[in-house]
Structure 1
């Protein structure tokens, strides 16, 4: 049986309440003012627990910090290589024929796959254009 914990509930709520794909550090700093006895270790342990329970997924490491997503439905992501923003791409469908092709070609039992795009986000592109206009 899993014990109820106010801190655990607060951590999960924090992840579910944002689309920024938070890091453990972001969650810790967000919750620390209202949960002064919260430790970063508690946040990390609960993130592992939530992953094991299928309640959150890791989006990978961005700028040295693992980022998390409470949306566990299959979907793609975009990672800005400039500012580190992680953006959901819900309309980019994950291709089941790719899963079948990899399974057949390599003799593997593929269960799922993830698709992540990397580049510069709209905000960073606009900022670069603005900086170029100022310099010219």
Structure 2
């Protein structure tokens, strides 16, 4: 499934005339195969062996391009560094308060929230986001 979504993202870039470089492809591929919502630094560290000439700035610049095209979302939580997520179907995030790990959580029932909010307030709703906080299994094990 990740490969199919990666191909859709590559096609979306082609449609916007953004040139597909090996670095861009590697960053996208890493994002689509990663379940951890990596930071730009984590992406850089994972790819620096394959692309020794690539800088952290290159990763940031490409993530900005992907964000503008709408294939990547920047997740900012508190003062920690931004994490990046591929734009796929609507989903929510469960965040560990100990280590900062973010895990996707799908709950289709929440799709009605926007309709209800619109109905109750008269606002024209564009989007919503929900975060659930707790302690991940690894951190829970470490505590005990």
Structure 2 length as normaliser, TM-score? Answer: 0.80
**5+ residue gaps in structure 1?**
130-136
Matches within 5 A, 1:2-81: 2-61=18-77, 64-81=80-97
Q: Which has the higher helix share?
A: 2
Which ranges of 4 or more aligned residues in structure 1 deviate by more than 3 Å?
A: none
**5+ residue gaps in structure 2?**
1-16
8 Å Cα contact 2:63/2:72 also seen in 1: yes
Residue correspondences, number: 128
Indicate the RMSD between aligned Cα atoms, in angstroms: 1.7
Equivalent position of 1:117 in the other structure? 132
Cα deviation, 1:9-49, whole Å, max 9, x if unaligned, reads 11111111210110000001111111011111111111111
8 Å Cα contact 2:76/2:83 also seen in 1: yes
Structure 1 length as normaliser, TM-score? Answer: 0.84
C-alpha distance 94-42 of structure 1, shift in aligned 2 (>3 A)? farther
C-alpha distance in 1 between matches for 2:103 and 2:78: 12
Cα deviation, 1:107-126, whole Å, max 9, x if unaligned, reads 32112212110111111112
**CA deviation after TM superposition for structure 1 residue 95, in Å:** 1.6
